[in-house]
Amino acid sequence: MPDSESMKSRHILPNYRIAVVGSGAVGCYYGGKLAQYGRDVHFLMRSDLEHVRKRGLKILSKQGDFHLQKVNAYATTEEIGPVDLVLIAMKATANEALDTLIPPLLKADGSTMLMTLQNGLGNEEYLAERFGAENVLGGLCFVCLNRIEPGVIHHIGHGKIEMGEYSGLPLPRTWEIQGDFKRCGVVCSVSPDLGLAHWRKLVWNVPFNGLAIAAGGIDVGQILADEDLLYLTRGLMHEVIAIAKKLGHEIPVSFAEKNIENTKPMGAYLPSSVIDYLEGREVEIEPIWGEPLRIGFNAGAEVGRLEMLYHLIRRLVVRRQRDED
Amino acid sequence: MPDSESMKSRHILPNYRIAVVGSGAVGCYYGGKLAQYGRDVHFLMRSDLEHVRKRGLKILSKQGDFHLQKVNAYATTEEIGPVDLVLIAMKATANEALDTLIPPLLKADGSTMLMTLQNGLGNEEYLAERFGAENVLGGLCFVCLNRIEPGVIHHIGHGKIEMGEYSGLPLPRTWEIQGDFKRCGVVCSVSPDLGLAHWRKLVWNVPFNGLAIAAGGIDVGQILADEDLLYLTRGLMHEVIAIAKKLGHEIPVSFAEKNIENTKPMGAYLPSSVIDYLEGREVEIEPIWGEPLRIGFNAGAEVGRLEMLYHLIRRLVVRRQRDED
């Protein structure tokens, strides 16, 4: 690992500008932590803009509540201008908006880093195709958050970010960002293999987000308490692990059981996709189930369970949207 | 094919006694057809017993309504006594009752034939284990029926029985029964391979009964009209065909598409399991999904789609039963 003091002088820190694009629970929480520690954070906001400009941002957390009185909140990325690091925390279903939101944030020297904090597969690829793979990073968030009212985020638990370079092994900048996030109280690790990290996260997300929606909107405790859904949870986890293996990502089979054990203390936790589903918001179907299904199918893996789950969820969400229209 | 005249004299016809065990829609319809043509049919009845004794049995059908004024209806199989042929048309979920219902119907010479008209897999095996494989026949019913009130059956369409010997190739008696059923207006064929016939029927039953329940109780027209459910229908059909192949039953892949085409004219048809589900009656989960899943799994076939479907249905039905308790 490089010496962090020398990196600091050679690299982006300490005065780097950060933009947060998509200021929902994830964007506000992590951007808020960085701003709390004096980092130069600029939030692109939509519905909460006026509220946050007037009253700031509140994070309620067992680790300590905090209130940012003055927040740099903007309606457009043109007002923010070029930055060193963009944290992308929009719903992945709205990725098309990035085509116009990102360019005003890019520095002329091409050094702006784009770190997607979004769920599932396909987001790094989306950015890489449009803005160049070399500046894309992924940050996998293991965190339970809820936006409970405008400008107020409830941090329920966890909070780790597992970050990595889209195009390969970690670079000095990767460690540098990790170090700075840690100084701001964000638990954070660097992954040498972002693809593997994504598939490990999917081992949990595919069954728990998926079955909770397919069963009509239930919590993880209800999944664990139902012998049929618990059986399907294991089947889906093993299927995801086998797809990952086909792609060259080794995940031990015991990781499934470990995930189930780790879920027990969560109790009646509702995964974010389930809340989106229940509250009539868009659900990130493609990144969490569609992309893994297509990638697994193309790799020649067994994908029957994932196929059933994807289409049952897709039907429920499509039908709900049709009912609303 | 043997000469049917010589069979008639050598074998059971024309004065054979028939018992119908389980007088729901299937038992009343086929037993009724045989009785209409003068066959010596004896019905074991439960809820409809008094009604049928007083008012007889009515079959409403596009092929011609008919009313049997006088029906041999009984409360016990002891009252019926030994017969030549037992038609078993109970819900497969109640198979344990056969342990006591069948013995009074068996002739001392061991020649009583037991033909199960029940759905799915495992019913011939159940009879064979208890009463000897050599007298067990299967009759697969391709028919749309509804019991609309006590003693009144609505024949909506189709009606064919595909019959075969459990223990191997057709015997003279198999052709003989077929011939007699045909004389009574029952469209009927003899299958040289009952196992294959079952798996061919499952190609339709697994997805259409299954998805209709898993989607909350919809009809086959709604499945065909939904692109996600239609996709899953094909996936499930192909999985069932591949399981059958592992077991040595060759079903062409084109059979899936043919089944989908044949379903289109059915319109808003609700498969029997779905009506059972919607009306709070027991659903034949094990014969239609559980047994095929276990058999496929043990044969080393891919069973992911079937596994998802089985456990999602099982959960819905178990939950409903729990809600009722």
Choose the mutation target among B229, B240, B283, B312 for the interface with A, i.e. most A CBs under 10 Å. B312
For the CA atoms of chain A, what is the radius of gyration?
A: 19
The token pair that represents B37 in the structure block: 């043509």
Distance, CA of B95 to CA of B281 (rounded, Å):
15
**Closest-CA residue in chain A for B303?**
A304
Per CB-CB distance under 8 Å, the chain B contacts of A214 are 312
Per CB-CB distance under 8 Å, the chain B contacts of A305 are 304-305, 307-308
Taking the CA of residue A312 and the nearest CA in chain B, the distance in Å comes to 7
Taking the CA of residue B289 and the nearest CA in chain A, the distance in Å comes to 14
Taking the CA of residue B91 and the nearest CA in chain A, the distance in Å comes to 23
Provide the residue-wise pLDDT of chain A in tens; the chain has 325 residues. Answer: 444 444 333 455 668 999 999 989 999 999 999 999 999 999 999 999 999 999 999 999 988 999 999 999 999 999 999 999 999 999 999 999 999 999 999 999 999 999 999 999 999 999 999 999 999 999 999 998 888 899 999 998 889 999 999 999 999 999 999 999 999 999 999 999 999 999 999 999 999 999 999 999 999 999 999 999 999 999 999 999 999 999 999 999 999 999 999 999 989 989 889 999 999 999 999 999 999 999 999 999 999 999 999 999 999 998 777 776 6
Per CB-CB distance under 8 Å, the chain B contacts of A235 are 304, 307-308
Taking the CA of residue B215 and the nearest CA in chain A, the distance in Å comes to 8
Phi and psi at residue A5, to the nearest 5°? -65, -45
Per CB-CB distance under 8 Å, the chain B contacts of A232 are 307-308, 311-312
The token pair that represents B93 in the structure block: 């979920």
Note the pLDDT tens digit of each residue in B236-271.
Answer: 999 999 999 999 999 999 999 999 999 999 899 898
The token pair that represents A121 in the structure block: 């597969």
The token pair that represents A174 in the structure block: 């990767």
A235:B308 CB<8 A: yes
Neighbours of A217 (CB within 10 A): 15
Q: Which of A33, A58, A91, A201 is catalytic?
A: A201
B228:A303 CB<8 A: no
Nearest Cβ partner for B226 among A232, A303, A315: A315
DSSP code of residue B47 = T
Q: Is A91 a known active-site residue?
A: no
Choose the mutation target among B311, B317, B322 for the interface with A, i.e. most A CBs under 10 Å. B311
A311:B214 CB<8 A: no
Choose the mutation target among B213, B218, B224, B228 for the interface with A, i.e. most A CBs under 10 Å. B228
In CATH terms, the superfamily for domain A4-192 is NAD(P)-binding Rossmann-like Domain (3.40.50.720)
CA angle, residues A79, A84, A90, in degrees to nearest 5 = 65
Q: Look at domain B196-324 and name its CATH class.
A: mainly alpha
Domain residue ranges in chain A: 4-192, 196-324
A229:B302 CB<8 A: no
Distance, CA of B190 to CA of A5 (rounded, Å):
85
DSSP secondary structure of A126-178:
HHHHHH-GGGEEEEEEEEEEEEEETTEEEEEEEEEEEEEETTSS--HHHHHHH
Distances (CA, A) of B319 to A226, B8, B35, B314, B324: 9, 52, 41, 8, 9
Q: Are A137 and A191 in contact (CB under 8 A)?
A: no
Nearest Cβ partner for A309 among B229, B306, B308: B308
Per CB-CB distance under 8 Å, the chain A contacts of B307 are 231-232, 235, 304-305
3-state secondary structure of A248: coil
Choose the mutation target among A213, A236, A306, A311 for the interface with B, i.e. most B CBs under 10 Å. A311
ipTM of the complex: 0.89
Taking the CA of residue A321 and the nearest CA in chain B, the distance in Å comes to 14
CA angle, residues B15, B20, B24, in degrees to nearest 5 = 145
**Closest-CA residue in chain A for B228?**
A311
Nearest Cβ partner for A302 among B226, B229, B304: B304
Per CB-CB distance under 8 Å, the chain A contacts of B309 are 308
Residues in chain B predicted with pLDDT less than 50, given as ranges, are 1-10
Q: Which of B33, B91, B201, B246 is catalytic?
A: B201
